[in-house]
Amino acid sequence: MLSIYDVSLKDLENYFEQIGDKKYRARQVYEWLYRKRVSSFDEMTNLKKDLIERLKNQFSFTELKILTTLEDEDVKKFLFELEDGKKIEAVLMYHDYGNSLCISSEVGCNMSCAFCESGRLKKQRNLLPNEMVLQLLMIEKNLNIRISHVVLMGIGEPFDNYDNVMKFIDIINEPLGIALGARHITISTCGIIPKIKMFAKCERQVNLAISLHASNDSLRSKLMPINNVYKLDDLIKCIKEYIEQTNRRVTFEYVMLKDINDKEQNALELVNLLKGMNCYVNIIPYNETSHIEYKKSSKDTIDRFYNILKKNNIDVTIRREFGSKVMAACGQLRANFKEE
Ligand code: SAH
Protein backbone atom coordinates (compact mmCIF):
# COMPACT_ATOMS: atom_id res chain seq x y z
CA MET A 1 0.00 0.00 0.00
CA LEU A 2 1.18 3.50 -0.82
CA SER A 3 2.15 5.65 2.15
CA ILE A 4 0.07 8.79 2.44
CA TYR A 5 3.41 10.65 2.79
CA ASP A 6 4.40 9.48 -0.70
CA VAL A 7 1.77 11.56 -2.47
CA SER A 8 2.07 15.13 -3.64
CA LEU A 9 -0.93 17.44 -3.55
CA LYS A 10 -1.28 16.97 -7.28
CA ASP A 11 -1.29 13.16 -6.96
CA LEU A 12 -3.97 13.44 -4.33
CA GLU A 13 -6.09 15.80 -6.44
CA ASN A 14 -5.86 13.30 -9.29
CA TYR A 15 -6.88 10.52 -6.94
CA PHE A 16 -10.01 12.33 -5.76
CA GLU A 17 -11.00 13.23 -9.29
CA GLN A 18 -10.46 9.67 -10.38
CA ILE A 19 -12.81 8.31 -7.68
CA GLY A 20 -15.41 10.90 -8.67
CA ASP A 21 -14.95 13.10 -5.62
CA LYS A 22 -14.02 16.78 -5.38
CA LYS A 23 -10.50 17.95 -6.06
CA TYR A 24 -10.53 20.21 -2.98
CA ARG A 25 -10.62 17.14 -0.73
CA ALA A 26 -6.91 16.87 -1.45
CA ARG A 27 -6.32 20.23 0.17
CA GLN A 28 -8.32 19.17 3.20
CA VAL A 29 -6.28 16.01 3.57
CA TYR A 30 -3.03 17.90 3.07
CA GLU A 31 -3.99 20.34 5.79
CA TRP A 32 -4.67 17.51 8.23
CA LEU A 33 -1.39 15.84 7.36
CA TYR A 34 1.00 18.74 7.30
CA ARG A 35 -0.65 21.59 9.23
CA LYS A 36 -2.52 19.76 11.96
CA ARG A 37 -0.16 16.79 11.78
CA VAL A 38 -2.70 14.08 12.55
CA SER A 39 -1.59 10.47 12.34
CA SER A 40 -4.76 8.72 11.17
CA PHE A 41 -7.60 9.24 8.72
CA ASP A 42 -10.11 8.94 11.58
CA GLU A 43 -8.93 12.31 12.89
CA MET A 44 -9.89 14.03 9.63
CA THR A 45 -13.28 15.09 10.94
CA ASN A 46 -14.44 17.02 7.90
CA LEU A 47 -14.36 13.87 5.75
CA LYS A 48 -17.34 11.50 5.49
CA LYS A 49 -17.07 8.05 7.11
CA ASP A 50 -17.20 6.14 3.82
CA LEU A 51 -14.50 8.32 2.30
CA ILE A 52 -12.31 7.71 5.35
CA GLU A 53 -12.78 3.95 4.85
CA ARG A 54 -11.87 4.31 1.21
CA LEU A 55 -8.70 6.25 2.02
CA LYS A 56 -7.73 3.66 4.61
CA ASN A 57 -7.92 0.97 1.94
CA GLN A 58 -5.75 2.98 -0.42
CA PHE A 59 -3.08 4.65 1.75
CA SER A 60 -1.22 3.77 4.91
CA PHE A 61 0.27 5.96 7.63
CA THR A 62 3.92 4.98 7.83
CA GLU A 63 6.43 5.87 10.54
CA LEU A 64 10.14 5.72 11.19
CA LYS A 65 11.44 4.35 14.46
CA ILE A 66 14.00 6.52 16.27
CA LEU A 67 16.65 3.99 17.36
CA THR A 68 19.05 6.37 19.02
CA THR A 69 20.07 10.02 19.14
CA LEU A 70 23.32 11.77 19.89
CA GLU A 71 23.56 15.38 20.88
CA ASP A 72 26.02 18.23 21.12
CA GLU A 73 25.23 21.87 21.77
CA ASP A 74 24.64 22.82 18.14
CA VAL A 75 23.73 19.49 16.57
CA LYS A 76 21.53 16.49 17.15
CA LYS A 77 21.84 13.29 15.23
CA PHE A 78 19.09 10.70 14.70
CA LEU A 79 19.43 7.06 13.74
CA PHE A 80 16.17 5.79 12.24
CA GLU A 81 14.94 2.31 11.49
CA LEU A 82 12.80 1.94 8.37
CA GLU A 83 9.84 -0.42 8.14
CA ASP A 84 12.04 -3.13 6.59
CA GLY A 85 14.57 -2.85 9.41
CA LYS A 86 17.19 -0.88 7.43
CA LYS A 87 18.88 2.06 9.12
CA ILE A 88 19.44 5.65 8.02
CA GLU A 89 20.58 8.88 9.63
CA ALA A 90 19.53 12.50 9.74
CA VAL A 91 21.43 15.36 11.33
CA LEU A 92 19.80 18.47 12.73
CA MET A 93 21.96 21.58 12.98
CA TYR A 94 21.00 24.66 14.97
CA HIS A 95 22.07 27.79 13.09
CA ASP A 96 21.43 31.40 14.03
CA TYR A 97 19.18 31.60 10.95
CA GLY A 98 17.11 28.52 11.86
CA ASN A 99 17.16 24.75 12.09
CA SER A 100 18.70 22.93 9.19
CA LEU A 101 18.13 19.23 8.61
CA CYS A 102 20.55 17.01 6.70
CA ILE A 103 18.54 14.20 5.15
CA SER A 104 19.53 10.78 3.77
CA SER A 105 18.27 9.78 0.33
CA GLU A 106 19.36 6.14 0.09
CA VAL A 107 20.20 3.13 2.26
CA GLY A 108 23.94 2.94 1.65
CA CYS A 109 25.60 4.59 -1.35
CA ASN A 110 27.26 3.32 -4.53
CA MET A 111 29.52 6.30 -5.14
CA SER A 112 32.44 4.91 -3.08
CA CYS A 113 34.16 8.24 -2.38
CA ALA A 114 37.44 7.28 -0.70
CA PHE A 115 37.02 9.56 2.32
CA CYS A 116 33.32 8.94 3.02
CA GLU A 117 31.89 6.59 5.61
CA SER A 118 28.51 6.20 3.86
CA GLY A 119 29.98 4.38 0.89
CA ARG A 120 31.40 1.60 3.05
CA LEU A 121 27.89 0.17 2.89
CA LYS A 122 26.90 -0.31 -0.76
CA LYS A 123 23.51 0.96 -1.80
CA GLN A 124 20.78 -1.40 -0.70
CA ARG A 125 17.86 0.59 -1.97
CA ASN A 126 16.48 4.02 -2.71
CA LEU A 127 14.53 5.80 -0.01
CA LEU A 128 10.90 6.40 -0.88
CA PRO A 129 9.59 9.96 -0.73
CA ASN A 130 7.70 9.15 2.50
CA GLU A 131 10.92 7.98 4.15
CA MET A 132 12.49 11.37 3.43
CA VAL A 133 9.39 13.35 4.44
CA LEU A 134 9.20 11.37 7.69
CA GLN A 135 12.79 12.22 8.66
CA LEU A 136 11.58 15.80 8.84
CA LEU A 137 8.15 15.15 10.37
CA MET A 138 9.44 12.82 13.08
CA ILE A 139 12.18 15.21 14.18
CA GLU A 140 9.84 18.22 14.25
CA LYS A 141 7.42 16.20 16.39
CA ASN A 142 10.09 14.68 18.63
CA LEU A 143 11.68 18.03 19.48
CA ASN A 144 8.62 20.24 18.98
CA ILE A 145 10.51 22.51 16.59
CA ARG A 146 10.18 23.74 13.04
CA ILE A 147 12.86 23.00 10.46
CA SER A 148 13.63 25.94 8.21
CA HIS A 149 16.21 24.43 5.85
CA VAL A 150 16.72 21.00 4.31
CA VAL A 151 19.98 19.78 2.78
CA LEU A 152 20.22 16.46 0.93
CA MET A 153 23.69 15.74 2.26
CA GLY A 154 23.10 12.65 4.36
CA ILE A 155 23.66 9.08 3.27
CA GLY A 156 23.21 8.46 -0.45
CA GLU A 157 23.53 10.21 -3.79
CA PRO A 158 20.29 12.17 -4.38
CA PHE A 159 20.70 12.13 -8.17
CA ASP A 160 20.99 8.34 -8.08
CA ASN A 161 17.41 8.41 -6.70
CA TYR A 162 16.19 11.29 -8.84
CA ASP A 163 12.44 10.71 -9.10
CA ASN A 164 11.87 10.02 -5.42
CA VAL A 165 13.98 13.01 -4.42
CA MET A 166 11.98 15.30 -6.74
CA LYS A 167 8.72 13.97 -5.34
CA PHE A 168 10.04 14.56 -1.81
CA ILE A 169 10.92 18.14 -2.71
CA ASP A 170 7.46 18.73 -4.18
CA ILE A 171 5.84 17.43 -1.00
CA ILE A 172 7.83 19.55 1.47
CA ASN A 173 7.70 22.58 -0.84
CA GLU A 174 3.89 22.52 -1.21
CA PRO A 175 2.54 25.87 0.06
CA LEU A 176 -0.56 24.24 1.55
CA GLY A 177 1.55 21.72 3.44
CA ILE A 178 4.97 22.03 5.08
CA ALA A 179 5.68 24.98 2.77
CA LEU A 180 9.45 24.81 2.95
CA GLY A 181 10.71 27.34 0.41
CA ALA A 182 12.66 25.94 -2.55
CA ARG A 183 15.47 28.36 -1.79
CA HIS A 184 15.75 26.75 1.64
CA ILE A 185 16.38 23.33 0.09
CA THR A 186 19.80 22.22 -1.21
CA ILE A 187 20.66 19.12 -3.21
CA SER A 188 24.26 17.98 -3.03
CA THR A 189 25.61 15.71 -5.76
CA CYS A 190 28.93 14.09 -6.56
CA GLY A 191 28.37 15.18 -10.17
CA ILE A 192 26.08 12.93 -12.21
CA ILE A 193 26.01 15.01 -15.37
CA PRO A 194 22.83 13.71 -17.07
CA LYS A 195 20.84 14.32 -13.88
CA ILE A 196 22.28 17.82 -13.44
CA LYS A 197 21.06 18.55 -16.97
CA MET A 198 17.64 17.17 -16.16
CA PHE A 199 17.55 19.18 -12.95
CA ALA A 200 18.45 22.37 -14.83
CA LYS A 201 15.32 21.94 -16.93
CA CYS A 202 12.89 21.07 -14.14
CA GLU A 203 12.39 24.64 -12.94
CA ARG A 204 12.41 23.90 -9.26
CA GLN A 205 14.15 26.81 -7.55
CA VAL A 206 16.18 24.47 -5.35
CA ASN A 207 19.87 25.13 -4.62
CA LEU A 208 22.51 22.91 -6.15
CA ALA A 209 25.80 21.98 -4.47
CA ILE A 210 28.52 20.00 -6.20
CA SER A 211 30.95 17.85 -4.23
CA LEU A 212 34.17 18.80 -6.02
CA HIS A 213 36.88 17.93 -3.49
CA ALA A 214 39.73 18.04 -6.01
CA SER A 215 41.32 20.59 -8.28
CA ASN A 216 42.41 18.31 -11.11
CA ASP A 217 41.19 15.23 -12.91
CA SER A 218 43.64 12.60 -11.64
CA LEU A 219 43.27 13.63 -8.01
CA ARG A 220 39.49 13.67 -8.32
CA SER A 221 39.45 10.20 -9.87
CA LYS A 222 41.48 8.91 -6.91
CA LEU A 223 39.06 10.39 -4.38
CA MET A 224 35.79 10.00 -6.25
CA PRO A 225 35.30 7.05 -8.65
CA ILE A 226 32.38 8.89 -10.30
CA ASN A 227 35.05 11.07 -11.92
CA ASN A 228 36.00 8.11 -14.11
CA VAL A 229 32.54 8.31 -15.63
CA TYR A 230 31.99 12.07 -15.64
CA LYS A 231 35.33 13.86 -16.01
CA LEU A 232 36.12 17.08 -14.20
CA ASP A 233 36.23 19.21 -17.37
CA ASP A 234 32.85 17.91 -18.50
CA LEU A 235 31.42 18.51 -15.05
CA ILE A 236 32.61 22.12 -15.01
CA LYS A 237 31.24 22.65 -18.51
CA CYS A 238 27.91 21.19 -17.42
CA ILE A 239 27.78 23.48 -14.37
CA LYS A 240 28.53 26.52 -16.53
CA GLU A 241 25.56 25.56 -18.70
CA TYR A 242 23.43 25.02 -15.62
CA ILE A 243 24.26 28.50 -14.34
CA GLU A 244 23.52 30.01 -17.73
CA GLN A 245 20.19 28.21 -18.02
CA THR A 246 18.93 28.77 -14.48
CA ASN A 247 20.66 31.98 -13.52
CA ARG A 248 21.33 30.35 -10.19
CA ARG A 249 24.48 30.39 -8.11
CA VAL A 250 26.12 27.04 -7.50
CA THR A 251 28.03 25.90 -4.43
CA PHE A 252 31.18 23.82 -4.75
CA GLU A 253 32.00 21.74 -1.70
CA TYR A 254 35.66 21.08 -1.05
CA VAL A 255 36.55 18.80 1.86
CA MET A 256 40.07 19.49 3.15
CA LEU A 257 42.15 16.33 3.40
CA LYS A 258 45.59 16.66 4.96
CA ASP A 259 48.41 16.47 2.37
CA ILE A 260 45.98 15.21 -0.27
CA ASN A 261 44.12 18.16 -1.77
CA ASP A 262 45.07 21.07 0.50
CA LYS A 263 48.27 22.40 -1.08
CA GLU A 264 48.82 25.87 -2.51
CA GLN A 265 48.90 24.37 -5.99
CA ASN A 266 45.45 22.87 -5.45
CA ALA A 267 44.08 26.25 -4.46
CA LEU A 268 45.56 27.84 -7.58
CA GLU A 269 44.17 25.07 -9.81
CA LEU A 270 40.79 25.60 -8.22
CA VAL A 271 40.95 29.31 -8.97
CA ASN A 272 41.65 28.49 -12.59
CA LEU A 273 38.80 26.05 -12.78
CA LEU A 274 36.18 28.33 -11.24
CA LYS A 275 37.15 31.87 -12.09
CA GLY A 276 34.36 33.90 -13.63
CA MET A 277 31.64 31.45 -12.58
CA ASN A 278 28.62 32.48 -10.52
CA CYS A 279 29.57 30.19 -7.68
CA TYR A 280 31.10 29.96 -4.27
CA VAL A 281 33.33 27.43 -2.61
CA ASN A 282 32.40 25.92 0.72
CA ILE A 283 35.53 24.56 2.37
CA ILE A 284 34.65 21.65 4.63
CA PRO A 285 37.01 20.67 7.44
CA TYR A 286 37.17 16.88 7.13
CA ASN A 287 35.36 14.90 9.78
CA GLU A 288 37.76 12.11 10.66
CA THR A 289 36.34 8.62 11.10
CA SER A 290 38.01 5.61 12.66
CA HIS A 291 37.57 3.39 9.59
CA ILE A 292 39.27 5.64 7.04
CA GLU A 293 42.88 6.80 7.13
CA TYR A 294 42.43 10.38 5.83
CA LYS A 295 43.19 13.19 8.26
CA LYS A 296 41.82 16.69 8.44
CA SER A 297 43.95 19.61 7.30
CA SER A 298 45.26 21.91 10.03
CA LYS A 299 43.53 25.20 10.69
CA ASP A 300 46.55 27.06 9.28
CA THR A 301 46.43 25.08 6.04
CA ILE A 302 42.70 25.69 5.68
CA ASP A 303 43.19 29.43 6.30
CA ARG A 304 45.97 29.58 3.72
CA PHE A 305 43.82 27.80 1.15
CA TYR A 306 40.92 30.13 1.92
CA ASN A 307 43.10 33.22 1.49
CA ILE A 308 44.39 32.13 -1.91
CA LEU A 309 40.82 31.74 -3.20
CA LYS A 310 39.76 35.02 -1.62
CA LYS A 311 42.72 36.91 -3.08
CA ASN A 312 41.77 35.60 -6.51
CA ASN A 313 38.17 36.79 -6.22
CA ILE A 314 36.56 33.42 -5.64
CA ASP A 315 33.74 33.65 -3.09
CA VAL A 316 34.57 31.25 -0.32
CA THR A 317 33.40 30.23 3.14
CA ILE A 318 34.73 27.72 5.64
CA ARG A 319 31.99 25.48 6.95
CA ARG A 320 31.50 25.72 10.65
CA GLU A 321 32.36 22.42 12.26
CA PHE A 322 29.37 20.55 13.57
CA GLY A 323 29.27 17.64 15.86
CA SER A 324 32.60 15.94 15.35
CA LYS A 325 32.01 14.72 18.90
CA VAL A 326 28.71 13.16 17.90
CA MET A 327 29.96 11.38 14.79
CA ALA A 328 28.23 13.77 12.43
CA ALA A 329 30.10 12.68 9.32
CA CYS A 330 27.85 10.99 6.80
CA GLY A 331 27.15 7.42 7.79
CA GLN A 332 29.23 7.43 10.94
CA LEU A 333 26.45 6.85 13.43
CA ARG A 334 25.04 3.90 11.53
CA ALA A 335 28.48 2.39 10.98
CA ASN A 336 29.28 2.48 14.67
CA PHE A 337 25.83 1.35 15.79
CA LYS A 338 26.17 -1.81 13.73
CA GLU A 339 29.41 -2.76 15.36
CA GLU A 340 28.28 -2.35 18.95
N1 SAH B 1 26.25 12.09 -2.44
C2 SAH B 1 26.08 13.49 -2.27
C3 SAH B 1 25.51 13.91 -0.93
C4 SAH B 1 25.96 13.21 0.32
S5 SAH B 1 27.52 13.61 1.02
C6 SAH B 1 27.36 14.22 -2.58
O7 SAH B 1 28.34 13.57 -2.89
O8 SAH B 1 27.36 15.44 -2.57
C9 SAH B 1 27.44 15.28 1.55
C10 SAH B 1 28.80 15.94 1.58
O11 SAH B 1 29.59 15.49 2.70
C12 SAH B 1 29.61 15.65 0.34
O13 SAH B 1 30.24 16.82 -0.09
C14 SAH B 1 30.61 14.64 0.87
O15 SAH B 1 31.73 14.56 0.04
C16 SAH B 1 30.90 15.17 2.24
N17 SAH B 1 31.53 14.24 3.18
C18 SAH B 1 31.47 12.89 3.18
N19 SAH B 1 32.18 12.39 4.21
C20 SAH B 1 32.68 13.44 4.88
C21 SAH B 1 33.50 13.57 6.05
N22 SAH B 1 33.93 12.51 6.72
N23 SAH B 1 33.83 14.83 6.45
C24 SAH B 1 33.38 15.90 5.79
N25 SAH B 1 32.60 15.84 4.69
C26 SAH B 1 32.27 14.63 4.24
β-partners of residue 207 are: 186
Domain parsing of the chain, residue ranges:
2-60, 65-339
Which of 132, 139, 155 lies closest to 338, judged by CA? 155
Q: Which residues contact 150 (CB under 8 A, 6 or more apart)?
A: 100, 101, 103, 136, 172, 180, 184, 185, 186
Rounded to whole angstroms, how far apart are CA atoms 49 and 27?
A: 18
pLDDT tens digits in sequence order for the chain, 340 residues long: 999 999 999 999 999 999 999 999 999 999 999 999 999 999 999 999 999 999 999 999 999 999 999 988 889 999 999 999 999 999 999 999 999 999 999 999 999 999 998 878 899 999 999 999 999 999 999 999 999 999 999 999 999 999 999 999 999 999 999 999 999 999 999 999 999 999 999 989 999 999 999 999 999 999 999 999 999 999 999 999 999 999 999 999 999 999 999 999 999 999 999 999 999 999 999 999 888 899 999 999 999 999 999 999 999 999 988 765 665 555 666 666 654 3
The answer to whether 330 is a known catalytic residue is yes
Encoded amino acid at 2, one letter: L
Cβ(161)–Cβ(110) below 8 Å: no
By most ligand atoms within 8 Å of CB, the mutation choice from 123, 212, 284 for ligand 1 is 284
Which residues have any ligand 1 atom within 6 Å of their CB?
A: 111, 113, 115-116, 153, 157, 188-190, 211, 213, 253, 255, 284, 286-287, 289, 329-330
Cβ(15)–Cβ(59) below 8 Å: no
Which atom of ligand 1 is nearest to 210's Cα?
8
Q: Which residues contact 27 (CB under 8 A, 6 or more apart)?
A: 9, 176
Q: Which CATH code is given to the segment(s) 2-60? A: 1.10.150.530
- Is the domain spanning 65-339 CATH 3.40.50.300? The answer is no
pTM of the full structure? 0.95
Q: Which residues contact 249 (CB under 8 A, 6 or more apart)?
A: 243, 278, 279, 280
